[in-house]
Structure 1
């Protein structure tokens, strides 16, 4: 049995349901030549994206990958949602999962400060 549990989340199924209704309204609008219905269906699809994103950020959507069997259930919230999931675009858009400024400054190598008019120090090349 696989250790992966992809898409079995409240956020995923709720977004899918809303997007399905939106897609049906778009199809109805196309079949009846109603631009208002087609636009309304597209608006419902856009709402499905926002609802899914909000549910994901509140812990009802889980990141892809291997999870312990105890976290496979749909009623289990993701405790790591506050910090952001690594590689998750939705978390990055919400400002989660980024390194702090202090951590990124510590990781960046410091360069020697050169004042205008001074020669730039060059390290020898091996």
Structure 2
């Protein structure tokens, strides 16, 4: 049966969940057995699941943030854009993969310009100044 929406199933996602499940199972057995060594080992395995998922994502077996095109919904479809990095993807940023034309940290510039008078200028319109407002330093 065909899916009506992208469920996000990927090799990276399923593998990461499987490794994390093993880790949390070992933690649970360690808690029941009263073994600090098993608890610590399970936590290490759970931590490794994050690294495995991240590595598979960077290798193209994950998915970019957001909705994928319908042709890429299948689990076995490899993401060809992973080498360049995905916009808005924390994993890609941590790996130093930033899409072309974007810096590692992109902060949008201010959208409102102020001149210190309390009236902000949006493009060419004045907000809060009335119909005969003077705008800018030295305006009279």
User: What is aligned with 1:94?
Assistant: 95
Q: What secondary structure sits across from 2:98 in the alignment?
A: coil
Larger RCO: 1 or 2 (CA < 8 Å, sep 6+) = 1
Q: CA deviation at 1:65?
A: 1.8
Are 1:8 and 2:16 an aligned pair?
A: no
Distance in 2, matches of 1:36 and 1:86, equals 40
Distance in 2, matches of 1:27 and 1:45, equals 12
User: What is aligned with 2:21?
Assistant: 20
Query: Which structure carries more helix by proportion?
Result: 1
Residues 10, 74 of structure 1: 8 Å contact kept: yes
Distance in 2, matches of 1:70 and 1:96, equals 24
User: Which runs of structure 1 show a deviation greater than 3 angstroms over 4 or more consecutive aligned residues?
Assistant: none
**1:91-126 residue CA offsets vs partner (Å, 9 max, x unmatched):** 11000125259xx9xxx9xxxxxxxxxxxxxxx736
Q: CA deviation at 1:66?
A: 2.0
Structure 2, unaligned runs of 5 or more: 110-135
User: What is aligned with 1:73?
Assistant: 74
RMSD: 2.3
Structure 1, unaligned runs of 5 or more: 109-123
User: What is aligned with 1:84?
Assistant: 85
**1:19-72 residue CA offsets vs partner (Å, 9 max, x unmatched):** 000000000001111000000000100111100000000000002322221101
Aligned length: 106
If you compute each CA radius of gyration, which structure gives the higher value, 1 or 2?
A: 2
TM-score normalised to structure 1 length:
0.75
Query: Which structure carries more strand by proportion?
Result: 2
Residues 6, 65 of structure 1: 8 Å contact kept: no
Q: Which moved more, 1:12-21 or 1:65-74?
A: 65-74
Distance in 1, matches of 2:103 and 2:88, equals 16
